[in-house]
Amino acid sequence: MNIVLFGPPGSGKGTQAKILQSERKLPQLSTGDMLRAAIAAGTDLGKKCKSIMDAGELVPDSVVVGIIGDRFDQPDCKGGAVFDGFPRTIPQAQALDSLLKARGRAIDLVIELKVNDAVLIGRVEQRIKESGGIARADDTPETLKNRLAVYYKNTAPLLDYYKNQGKLQTVDGMAPIAEVTKAIAAVIDGAGKPS
């Protein structure tokens, strides 16, 4: 099963993707984590992306489509994957659809974690506090504002893209973590069953 976890920065995609990875053996494919790994490793790709990410802007579609394609072709994705933080633009979603189609696969389900802005800002502020000054370079109140603006402008339109494909399901991302996990499980286990 191929699942897209969808939502604004701080909505809990990463947390829930990790739970799905351990409970359902669906690898978490996080473009943010892959890009941060490239930066930490000092690769050319990492060097190219660092200033873009620090500013809260999106790296070019071709970059993330390339790394997702390579990652998806690893043997552990044979049974599917959880896409976390990808796609973030309509061209990325189109590229993902054709990449999967070429492999005889498709996105089965898109799960939106719905969280309002005030809660998102509070969560990131908490994450900054807890990190004791070693927060992610893009976890600052100013950059978060830009990441949210980029989300609403470039990424939120994907909700209609996937709604039109009949794949979108929404859960309340403001509930406690365990409740969100349960709601996601209900959506996944209900997928494919006649409603």
- Chain contacts with ligand ADP (rule: CB under 6 A): 9-10, 31-32, 35, 52-53, 56-59, 64, 85-88, 92, 138, 147
- Give the strand order in the sheet containing 81-84: 28-30, 81-84, 2-6, 109-114, 168-172
Catalytic residue of the set 127, 153, 167, 182: 127
Three-state DSSP at 84 gives strand
Give catalytic status of residue 147 as yes or no: yes
47: amino acid identity, one letter:
K
Q: Which of 48, 136, 163, 167 is catalytic?
A: 136
Q: What token pair was written down for 71?
A: 């990652």
Two structure tokens written together for 83 = 């896409």
Identity of the residue, 4 or 183, whose beta carbon is nearer to ligand ADP in the bound complex: 4
Cβ closer to ligand ADP: 17 or 183?
17
* Known active-site residue 105: no
3-state secondary structure of 171: strand
Does the active-site annotation cover 24? no
Write down the catalytic residue from 13, 36, 50, 71: 13
Report, as residue numbers or ranges, the catalytic residues. 13, 88, 127, 136, 147
